[in-house]
Amino acid sequence: MRTIIHVDLDAFYCSVEQRRNPTLRHKAFVVAGRADLRGVVATASYQARHYGIKAGTPTAKALQLCPDLIVVPPDHTAYLEAAREVYQLIKHENPLIAQASIDEAYIDVSDDAHRPLAFAQHIQQRVAEDLQLPLSCGIASNKLVAKAATDMGKKLARAGELPKAIYVVPHGQEAAFLAPLPVQTLCGIGPKTTQRLWDLGITTLGEIAWTRQSDIRATFTRRHAEELIRWAQGIDHSELEYDIQAKSVSHATTLMRDVDEPAVIESTLLTLSYDVARRLQQKQLRGWVVSCYVRWEDRRGVGRQSRLARATNLGDEIYARASHILAQLWDGRRLIRHVAVGVSQLGAYPQQLGLWDVDDDGQAEQAALEIIDDTEQFWGKPLSTHRMARGALRRFSRGSI
């Protein structure tokens, strides 16, 4: 009998910050970007959520909702390390674990289906005691319902406190569990589908599963309709995928203000390119396709991608292709708000030198540093993103490969 446990670290970024700084416990605080740099909330403590603050709330608005709110800048390196610790701890207890995101994973306990609750309690206790991090669990016969069970457990937990919940959906009770829940409960039903269902007057999963099937089939494509009905009945045959290799690596930034200065955009693109290169090299991956995406001052965006002649993880090669794409997207006059660079079609490809490749004696690195220096002079101060690029260039130049 198939049994899946969904584990979700409670307010993960905030929990990591509380582990590092215990004085934050029981206080309203957020992990967020600076308000004056158009930052947004990544995670809010449960005390902060009492004020209506949640992930995606602009930091400036969060401070209006709670004037005494504490804003903690994000430290993604610390969060990745904490997630790795949790993942390794659980994997030691049960190797059949599939990590879904930095703070979520699924565990297949089908071979031990008679005691999944005891296993979930054991994992919850070990993570709390060994790593000082809280997590919640949902137990069901498949991934879809297990995640919904976790969400239900969190909602039923006492407001203002970390949930540390465990919720079990018995086998055969999946449809009954889902029936009264809002249609947007399931992770497979996004905002657009939700709105279309609301337009039909359908608000609960039970209506999809049993009473309004004819309306569902008449409104959606055949495949989508059958999928919705199956999900609403708690049927999900998707398998766990263990140790999934990343399909792409990307990095993005929102600028301090809307800009049209080429030097600033060029330096930002350089920063992002070398950060992507660093992450690729850490994973020992190379990619064939480079993409660049920009968002204008009106928040509309456009992006393109381009295939390379050979797979790469070198910052100068990624930057050169991203810069070429940007030249096609931007006329140099329109204000830019947001920039992103990515590399996809990844694999552990061996490095291949082209026929005309020669050692550039650090010329690419020197040119890149000159661009950064020019931009810092433009702003009149060193910017955090450009300092990051400078460090990335020193560690991951062509000569270090």
For the chain, list residues with pLDDT below 70: 113-114, 158-162, 243-246, 351-401
Domain with CATH 1.10.150.20 in the chain: 176-232
Please report the pLDDT score of residue 233 as a whole number: 94
Please report the pLDDT score of residue 347 as a whole number: 85
3-state SS track over 161-228: CCCCCEEECCCCCHHHHHCCCEHHHCCCCCHHHHHHHHHCCCCEHHHHHHHCHHHHHHHCCHHHHHHH
Please report the pLDDT score of residue 119 as a whole number: 92
Collapsing DSSP states into helix, strand and coil, what is residue 357?
coil
Please report the pLDDT score of residue 385 as a whole number: 45
According to CATH, the superfamily of the domain at 248-400 is DNA polymerase, Y-family, little finger domain (3.30.1490.100)
Q: In sequence order, what DSSP letters do the residues of 76-89 get, joined into one string?
A: HHHHHHHHHHHHHH
Q: Where are the alpha helices (DSSP H) in 200-314?
A: 205-206, 213-219, 222-232, 262-282
Q: Where are the alpha helices (DSSP H) in 253-352?
A: 262-282, 315-329
Domain with CATH 3.30.70.270 in the chain: 4-12+77-173
Architecture of domain 176-232: Orthogonal Bundle (1.10)
Residue 362 phi, psi dihedral angles, 5° rounding: 80, 10
Please report the pLDDT score of residue 352 as a whole number: 57
Which of 249, 257, 248, 250 is CA-nearest to residue 338? 257
Q: Which residues contact 318 (CB under 8 A, 6 or more apart)?
A: 273, 274, 276, 277, 290, 312, 341, 343
Please report the pLDDT score of residue 152 as a whole number: 92
Domain with CATH 3.30.1490.100 in the chain: 248-400
In this structure, are strands 248-259 and 41-44 parallel, antiparallel, or unpaired? unpaired
State the amino acid at position 225 in one-letter form: A
In whole angstroms, give the CA distance from residue 258 to residue 205.
43
Q: Which residues contact 391 (CB under 8 A, 6 or more apart)?
A: none
Token pair 């330096």 is found at 267
Collapsing DSSP states into helix, strand and coil, what is residue 310?
strand
Instruction: Walk across the sheet containing 97-101 and list its strands.
Output: 97-101, 104-108, 4-9, 135-140, 166-168
Q: What number of other Cβ atoms are within 10 A of residue 104's Cβ?
A: 17
Contact 41, 62 (CB under 8 A): yes
Q: Which residues contact 225 (CB under 8 A, 6 or more apart)?
A: 216, 217, 219
Please report the pLDDT score of residue 370 as a whole number: 58
Does the pTM exceed 0.75? no
> Is 226 tagged catalytic?
no
Token pair 């099937």 is found at 213
Residue 74 phi, psi dihedral angles, 5° rounding: -70, 150
Architecture of domain 20-73: 3-Layer(aba) Sandwich (3.40)
| Mean pLDDT across the chain | 84
- Of the residues 17, 85, 93, 104, only one is catalytic, namely 104
Collapsing DSSP states into helix, strand and coil, what is residue 66?
coil
Contacts 24+ apart (CB under 8 A), 79-83: 79/12, 79/13, 79/16, 82/12, 82/16, 82/19, 82/131, 82/133, 83/9, 83/12
What kind and span of H or E run contains 91? helix 76-93
User: In CATH, which of 1.10.630.10, 3.30.70.270, 3.40.190.10, 3.40.50.720 is domain 4-12+77-173?
Assistant: 3.30.70.270
